[in-house]
């Protein structure tokens, strides 16, 4: 709890994974991948409850052993390749609230972001309340600047992605940020629904590039193993 507001952390972890089989519970330096996120969420000063949303009994067992709550399994229709994360979040909120366990904000923590720390979560929570915002998203400065990115038009010519001159010193490039997927916070009110676009959350929380790692393939996994030693 922070400033009399209750915060529900939800870690979505469906069983299916095409890139890396059993990705959410794959061993990373002696711990299941999801455990890194559970540990940081539980160390947060402000998170009131940590819930894992999964359709997999195996993931549920790992999550409970690791200290998270798995009060129910996610229905199959929310675990397909077509299902969206927001659908699973709304399902969690509606199911938990129906048991009179009510929260003011939901904090989405994806298990594929193992470098995020508990103090990032706390700073993000402090930020959303200080800004009096209804939504927040974590971002990181881009490594590859879009001012140097190009598309190729129908005539085979290069076209700048931005309407800016690239003939400037690199240190004078304007700062751009990318959604890094580590932290999403949304106020639970009448506007929070399956139509909510999480990547369009309003308030930024800036994280350093050294914490920006989204595990999608085995190369990402190797990076995580090196950085989490």
Query: What would the pLDDT profile of 95-129 be if each residue is shown by its tens digit?
Result: 999 888 999 999 999 999 999 999 999 999 999 99
pLDDT at 195: 95
Q: How confident is the model at residue 16 (pLDDT cuts 50, 70, 90)?
A: confident
Distance CA 138, CA 5 (A): 20
Distance CA 17, CA 124 (A): 29
Looking at every residue in the chain, the average pLDDT score rounds to: 93
Is the pLDDT score of 13 beyond 90? yes
Taking only the tens place, the pLDDT of each residue in 172-216 is 788 889 999 999 999 999 999 999 999 999 999 999 999 999 999
CB proximity list for 126: less than 8 A, separation 6 or greater:
2
pLDDT at 4: 95
Residue 107: closest CA among 27, 1, 10, 208: 10
CB proximity list for 119: less than 8 A, separation 6 or greater:
none
What distances in angstroms separate CA 169 from CA 150, 158, 165, one per listed residue?
A: 18, 21, 11
Q: Which residues of 62-92 are buried (b: 16+ CB within 10 A; e: fewer)?
A: bbeebebebeebbeeebbeeebebbbbbbbb
Farthest-apart Cα atoms in the chain, separation:
61
The percentage of residues in the chain with a pLDDT greater than 70, rounded to a whole number, is 100
Burial (CB count <10 Å: 0-12, 13-18, 19+), residue 204:
middle
């Amino acid at each position: 709890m922070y400033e009399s507001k209750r915060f529900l952390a939800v870690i979505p972890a469906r069983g299916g994974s095409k890139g890396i089989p059993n990705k959410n519970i794959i061993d990373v330096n002696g711990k299941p991948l999801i455990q890194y996120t559970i540990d940081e969420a539980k160390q947060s000063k402000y998170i009131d409850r940590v819930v894992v949303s999964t359709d997999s009994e195996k993931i549920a067992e790992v999550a409970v052993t690791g200290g998270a709550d798995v009060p129910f399994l996610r229905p199959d229709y929310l675990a397909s390749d077509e299902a969206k994360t927001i659908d699973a979040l709304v399902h969690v909120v509606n199911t938990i609230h129906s048991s009179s366990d009510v929260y003011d904000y939901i904090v989405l923590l994806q298990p594929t972001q193992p470098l995020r720390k508990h103090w990032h979560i706390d700073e993000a929570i402090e930020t959303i309340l200080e800004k009096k915002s209804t939504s927040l998203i974590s971002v990181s400065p881009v490594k590859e600047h879009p001012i140097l990115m190009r598309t190729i038009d129908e005539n085979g010519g290069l076209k700048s992605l931005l309407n800016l001159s690239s003939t400037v010193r690199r240190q004078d490039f304007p700062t751009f940020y990318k959604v890094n997927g580590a932290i999403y916070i949304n106020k639970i009110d009448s506007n929070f629904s399956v139509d909510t676009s999480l990547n369009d959350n309003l308030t930024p929380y800036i994280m350093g590039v050294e914490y920006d790692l989204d595990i999608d393939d085995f190369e990402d996994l190797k990076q995580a193993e090196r950085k989490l030693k």
